[in-house]
Structure formats: structure tokens, C-alpha cells
Structure 1
Amino acid sequence: MIRSVLTAACLAVLSAAHAQEDPGAAFPDELILLPEDVQRDAQAGDFDAETAEVPTGMTAAQEAWYRAQMAFVSEDWYLARRYAETAAVSGITDAAALAGLMARDGRGGEADMAAAAGWFRRAAEQDHPVALYQLGLLARLGDDSLDLGDPRRWFERAARAGHIDAMVAYALALKASSVPQDGQSARRWAERAAQQGSAEGMYQLAQMLDAGVGGERDAEGARIWYERAAEANLAEGAFQAGMMWADGEGGEQDDAEARRWLRIAAESNYPPAQGQYGLMLYQGRGGEADAALAAHWFGQGARGGDAESQFLYAFVLAQGDGVEQDLEAAYRWVVAAGADALGAPVHNRDRDRLQAALERALPLEVQARVREAGAGD
């Protein structure tokens, strides 16, 4: 069994995607400063943020920031943005960060990346971790009109200010560098994020240990960190841990343990794991063989876009093994398996042989119809 069925290019895309923050995520926890009872009342709509009483002794800027938070948790986006901007102009950095997030997401007004960058810059002057990280994300969009330069510098500043997601982003930027010493720094930053509980940091550290980035390859350490990432609910970590157990990399070989980790990843809807878990079931590795359940998981992975799963599903459909034989459906999936998730050709002799056999068995008009329609059941 090949441990990783993904191409290097595909893994790079996945790694970059992991480091992206959910674009809809606004008002990070570190910005929610209201007392819990105020948050609760605001969320219940028990008072109006514009007229509600505020604690005594506040300055005008503090009051504006307080009302911005009340309005935000009340989902009064217009008021929240107005008060946040007022407080930000008066020097409250958390308010500037919130104003930037709202401008970025179009809450309380039109989305405005230039305005968002301006508010984030204002907060970044005081080394605000969230604002620095957001500037890195905006810089990574490549919009020259924002004049943000290299995202790496923003991620570095945010990482040094303690932002965990920024540590991962900075580690990935260093990993992509052609400077050998940057690989060592990449591993250190990934480990720092991992040690602080970041599932993505754990996974990226495992990847670096696995590939020998920033030092000698450490398969044992990689397997440990893949498992920790899996325990932190990262399906990719469970997949890689399972494949390492299956191949005996980084420790003993154990099919039952491999099957357990692959099942976790498969049930987490990770397509490459669904195909590989199905293969364990099909071959009876780590437990009893179950062709019908294997076919089910091959189908799940195939529909998820994994080329290896598509080939395996085509194979059982062609054989009628664990599923009713259907040569036309088999042909649809074997054709789909000819390219990976990025559209790059997949070179697999077994797939090529199966496609050739199906083309001998199916009329030309059926083949043409399948190719025109594309993959699917």
C-alpha cells in the first residue's frame, strides 16, 4: 500500500488551504471583552446597544468600544461597525481590528478590502496579533492596490506576537523558501504552534518531520504528531497515521491499528482515507474482509474526488464485487480516475488496463455518452 495517494502538488494545495482562516469567521474570541452577563443580554436582545447604560467612569472611546461589542453580539452590524470605527479612531486597537473584520466581511456596510487593510494597519501599529495576521491573509490575496507587500512579514510579526494560526502560516511560508536555513525555522514555528494545541500546527510539524524539512527525517516523530493531529479532529492526520501503521513507518506495522485510524479519517469524510479504508476492508487487512462495505467506501471516496478511490470503485463495479455489476458506471469512474483533484493526469497502469478492457466491452456510443456526461453514478 502506498502511504500517500496524493501528489506533491495536491498536498501543497491542501496544506495551504489548511492554513486559511474561515473567511466568514469574524470577531475572534480574543476580541470579545464584554462581561458574560452583558454578552448574554445582548444576544438575547434585552437592550439596545445605542441606549443601554454603560459602566461608569468610561472615556468616550471606551464607551464607543463597549457599545460596538454590545451591537455586535446583538447582530446590529451597522451600529457595531459605526461604534467600532469611532473607538478605533480614538486609539482602541481591538476596535480597529473589529472594524477591519467588519469591513472585510461586508458587515454593517459594503465589503471594502482597502478600508479593512487601513483599520488592520492602525491596530498593527500596536502589534495587535489579530490585525497582523489578517494583514498577512490580505497580502496573500495578491491585490497590489492594498500595498501590503510580502505576506510573510505580517505572518512573522503576528507569530511573534503570539497568534497561533500565524505561527502555522509563517511556518508554511518558511517551508516554501529556497533558503535551507528557513526550513529549520519552519519546523521550529510549526512545533511552537503544535505545542500550543494547534491541530494544523501538529499536522504541519508531522509533515516536516516526515519529509525531513528543516532537519533529518524523523518518521517516529511524524507518526506521533499525525496521531496528535488526529486526536485534535484533523482527518488528514488520522489518514497519514493510518498509512504509516499500514506500512510500518515510524514504528511497528499493525494492520488493525492502521484500519482504526483510516476508519476515523474515512468517517470524517476525507476522500483519500475513504478509498484506503475501503481497500483495507476489501483485502481483509486488520479484520474481516467485507466487499460490500468496501464498495460503499470506494464510492464515497470517488464522489469526493479522490482518483485512487475512483479507480477502486470502477474496479468493483466492473467485477460486480460487493456491488451490482455496472460496466457503464465503471467506465465513468475509471475515466474520472485519469486525473487527480488538481486535474493533473494520473499514471496508473492498473487503471489504464481497466479502462482499455471496458472500452473493448462497451459500444462506442456508450463510451461517447459517458465522456460527454462526465463522472457520477
Structure 2
Amino acid sequence: MTIRSTSLSRTASGLVILGLTVMGLTGLGLTGLVVLATPAFAGQDAPETETPTFPRDLILLPEDVQSAATEGLAAQTAEVPTGLSAAEAAWYRAQIAYVGEDFFLARNYAETAAAGGVVDAALLSGLMARNGEGGPIDLVTAARWFSRAADRDDPVALYNLGLLARRGDPALELGQPEPWFERAARAGHIPAMVAHAVTLRNSPVPQDAIAAREWAGRAAQQGSAEGMYQLAQMLDQGQGGERDAAGARVWYERAANDRHAEAAFQAGMMWADGEGGEQDDATGREWLRVAAESNYAPAQGQYGLMMYQGRGGEADPDMAAYWFSRGASGGDVESQFLYAFALARGEGVPQDFEAAYRWALEAAVDPLGAPVHDRDRDRLEAGLEGVLPADIRQRIRAEVEAAR
């Protein structure tokens, strides 16, 4: 949920971005849009990620299991430590098979161990059934295995039951997701804390916002980027307590440091506007860069605008047009308008009235199908209609409407 939509950033007091005067498009007088970006890890390489060898939801594999899997031992013939019960031995083999990517065998062993009461085996059985590993996707079976682990108040199982309940499939017989998320949150599951906070935040009961802010804060304090973002939004909007713009900016930045694109966008907006602290275009532009490079479409258009205007750094019309196009292709209507404008002017991109008209029409409707009431866009569309032949306009309009 974005608080500062990009349409709010085109203020009457902003810079004039394009004094457009091209073949009949005169005096559009478009005003500048505020832009943003993110600083903390500017210039750093994105952290490398490795494909996990075991579901992240579960505990780390014992060293002997890792060694057996690394050595390529078959799960059926691997030597099992002494003193294990039959269920524990099946769980031991299930882990070796899973790491060795023999998912069919891993699923069989895990289900055997789960039937014998091994909670982690029930979790793995549920995950594999849900994900279609070692057999077809079977959500009913997944719910059954998760429920077995949830009977022991396992937080991972409770959270996954909440995720399944969120699907709204009556065949799963799980009811509403919120009770599962709340139980998981109270058991210490961090993503469940966030899910619980979001549910409370969206509740029509005003008092629930107080609890939402508390749960988001717990998740944020334990390092959850989404928890940080949710807390920042509630501080920003004054939900569940007094508005705290300075605190919101801090938490947006902390979430952005963990590559949360929307948080980076919001942090950049606040720096660019001087909201919640000092105003600084360079910091705002840098935060927006991170958000744009994270493929967050609203940030891409706004980052391009800052580059066009030369706010927070050198002006670069070519790169501005590039980011306008990225945001436009991502479905952001503000970016679509900006790209249409750049095409109409021929700045940073070859002048192309037909393409400009197409993007101006795209910008007339948001991704949810609601009309966008924007005076500048309307003026741009009208100006382009003044230079394009009627048959071309009709063809482009029909193509845009057919694609919606």
C-alpha cells in the first residue's frame, strides 16, 4: 500500500519539467513531479543468494545429514545413528533424500516419520504436498500434515495453515486465516506477526489499529523488512497512535536497507519533500535509485523525473527517458504520462507522436481500470490529437482499448 502516490508528487509549486512546443503541442505548462530514491547501500553489489538445500521454514540440517547428502549417499542405504526410533530414522533418511533432491523418496520418508509423531517431518510433508515436490500438489493433504504439527502449537505449521486458509478454499476446512496467524504470532513466528498486524490494520474496529502497530513493531524489532515497512506506514499515517513522520522515515530507511522497494520509495519521497526531517534531493534521488532498480514501477518514473530535472545530481534526459519507459511498461500511470511526454518532445528518445499518443491513452486508466483524472495528461492527449491524422488516432485508440 503506497501512501504517497506518484500523482501527489506533481505539485503546483514544482519545477516546470517540459515547456513543450512541438508542431502544434504548445504551452502545456507541465509542472514538476517530486521524486525519490534510496541511499544506504548505494554502490554496493546486491547480496548473492544461493538456492537453499532445505526449506527455510525448517531448522538447519544436522551436520551428519549434510555430510551424508554431500557425499552422495543414498537415503535408503545411509547409516542411521544408533538409538533412533523408527520414526526418527525415517526422518533422518527423509532429510538426506530431500537434500539429494530425491523428492519422491523424501516425501515418503517424511510422511512415515510424520505419522510416527516427528513434528518437523509433518512440516516437511506439508510443504512438499503444498509445493508439489515428490508428487502432485495436494493442498488437502498439506493442510492435514500442517494441522498435525499445529496440534503441538508449532508456529511454522500455524503460519502455513493461515496461508492456506487465506485461499478461501472450503475443501481445506480451515476457516478464516486470522486465528492461525494470531496463534503463530503469539508463538513467535515473525512473518505471522506481520500478517497479524496487517489484518488488524485493515480491521474496521478502530482499537485494532493499536494492536496492529504493536505487532508490526515486534516484527520490525526482530529484523523483518515487511514489519519495518508496515510500522513505518502506521507511524506515517497516524494509525494506532500519534503520527510520527520522523519515526516513519527511520523505519522506511531501515526496511529499504533490506531491499524493500516500496519502503525505499517512501523514504526517498520524504527526503525529497523534507518530511520527517531535513530535505535533501541527493539522498532522495539515491533512495529512489534503489527502488527503481528493484523494479518498482512508480519509483522508476519518479527516478527518471529527478534525472530529467537534475535534482540531486546531473541532469540526464537519455536515462530519464529510459526509466520513464521502464515504469510505463510496469503499469505505472505517472510513468506512462512522463514517457508519453518525452516521446512527444523527442527528448532523451526519438520523437514519436504515435507512440506518445499510445502512452498518453494508457495513462488515462489505472491498473485497476479506474479513470485517471489528470489535467496535464488531458492536455497532452489533446495536443497530440491536434497533430495526428484522425485515422491514426482511431487505430491507436482501438488498439489500446482492445488490450485492456
TM-score (norm 2): 0.85
Are residues 1:150 and 2:151 paired? no
Q: CA deviation digits over 1:334-376, x for unaligned, max 9?
A: 1111122222221111111111111222122212322343399
Number of the residue aligned with 2:202: 176
Matches for 1:178-197 after TM superposition, within 5 Å: 178-197=204-223
| 2: CA distance, partners of 1:92 / 1:188 | 34
Aligned to 2:47: none
Select which of 338, 342, 348 maps to 2:368.
342
Which amino acid letter does the alignment assign opposite residue 29 of structure 1? R
Deviations 1:153-191 (A, max 9, x none): 000011111111111111001011111111011111111
Matches within 5 A, 1:297-312: 297-312=323-338
User: Which residue in the other structure is 1:364 paired with?
Assistant: 390
Question: Please, which moves more after superposition, 95-104 or 337-346?
Answer: 337-346
- The 8 Å contact of residues 45 and 74 in structure 1, kept in 2 or not, is answered as no
Which runs of structure 2 are paired with 1:231-270 in the superposition (5 Å)? 231-270=257-296
Change (3 A) 1:253 1:124: same
SS at match of 2:207: helix
1:245-268 Cα distance to aligned partner (Å, 9 max, x none) = 111111111111111111121122
Q: Which of 219, 227, 247 is the aligned partner of 1:221?
A: 247
User: Relative to structure 1, is the Cα distance of residues 239 and 33 closer, same or farther in structure 2, using a 3 angstrom cutoff?
Assistant: closer
Distance across 1 between alignment mates of 2:4 and 2:57: 39
Matched, 1:139 2:140: no
SS of equivalent residue, structure 1 residue 138? helix
AA aligned to 1:109 is G
Partner of 2:6: 5
Q: Which of 141, 147, 150 lines up with 1:115 in the alignment?
A: 141
CA drift at 1:30: 4.8
Structure 1 residues 135, 47: closer, same or farther in 2, change over 3 A? same
Aligned pairs for 1:194-205 within 5 A: 194-205=220-231
Deviations 1:273-300 (A, max 9, x none): 1111111111221222222221111111
Match of 1:28 among 45, 55, 71: 55
- 2:43 equivalent in structure 1: none
* Maintained 8 Å contact 1:62/1:87: yes
Distance 1:211 1:173 in 2: 16
| Cα gap change, 1:70 to 1:246, in 2 (>3 Å) | same
Equivalent pairs counted in the alignment come to 358
What's the CA shift for 1:97?
0.9
The CA distance in 1 between the partners of 2:151 and 2:210, in whole Å, is 29
Whether the 8 Å contact between 1:27 and 1:98 is mirrored in structure 2 is: no
How much has 1:3 moved relative to structure 2? 3.9
Query: What is the correspondence of 1:206-217 to structure 2 with a 5 Å cutoff?
Result: 206-217=232-243
Q: Closer, same or farther in 2 for the Cα pair 1:128/1:6, shift >3 Å?
A: farther
TM superposition shift of 1:6: 7.2
Partner of 1:12: none
Give the distance between the partners of 2:398 and 2:131, measured in 1 at CA.
39
Does the 8 Å contact 2:339/2:356 carry over to 1? yes
Is 1:325 aligned to 2:351, yes or no? yes
Please say if 1:126 is aligned against 2:127: no
Could you tell me how far apart the structure 2 residues matched to 1:28 and 1:34 are?
10
RMSD of the TM alignment (CA)?
2.0
Match of 2:115 among 80, 86, 89: 89
1:159 partnered with 2:185: yes
TM-score where L is the length of structure 1: 0.91
- Three-state SS of the structure 1 residue aligned to 2:6 is coil
Amino acid corresponding to residue 36 of structure 1 in structure 2? E
Residues 65, 95 of structure 2: 8 Å contact kept: no
**Could you list the per-position Cα deviations for residues 190-234 of structure 1 after superposition, in whole angstroms to 9, with x for gaps in the alignment?**
111111111111111111111111111111111000000110111
Task: For 2:371 and 2:152, locate their aligned partners in 1 and report how far apart those are by CA, in whole Å.
Answer: 49
3-state DSSP class of the match of 1:197?
coil
| AA partner of residue 264 (structure 1) | V
Q: 1:33 to 1:243 in 2, by over 3 A?
A: closer
**1:291 corresponds to which letter in structure 2?**
P
- Which residue identity is paired with 1:270? Y
Q: Distance in 2 between matches of 1:249 and 1:225?
A: 14
Which consecutive residues of structure 2, in runs of 5 or more, have no partner in the other structure? Answer: 9-50
Q: CA deviation at 1:49?
A: 0.5
Amino acid at match of 2:58: L
- Tell me if the contact between 1:27 and 1:101 (Cα under 8 Å) persists in the aligned partners: no
Q: Which residue is equivalent to 1:102?
A: 128
Of 225-234 and 284-293, more deviation after overlay is shown by 284-293
| Alpha carbons 1:337, 1:351 under 8 Å: kept | yes
Give the structure 2 partner of residue 67 of structure 1: 93
Q: CA–CA distance in 1 between the matches of 2:359 and 2:67?
A: 52
* Secondary structure at the counterpart of residue 338 of structure 2: helix
In structure 2, what is the Cα distance between the partners aligned to 1:260 and 1:142? Answer: 41
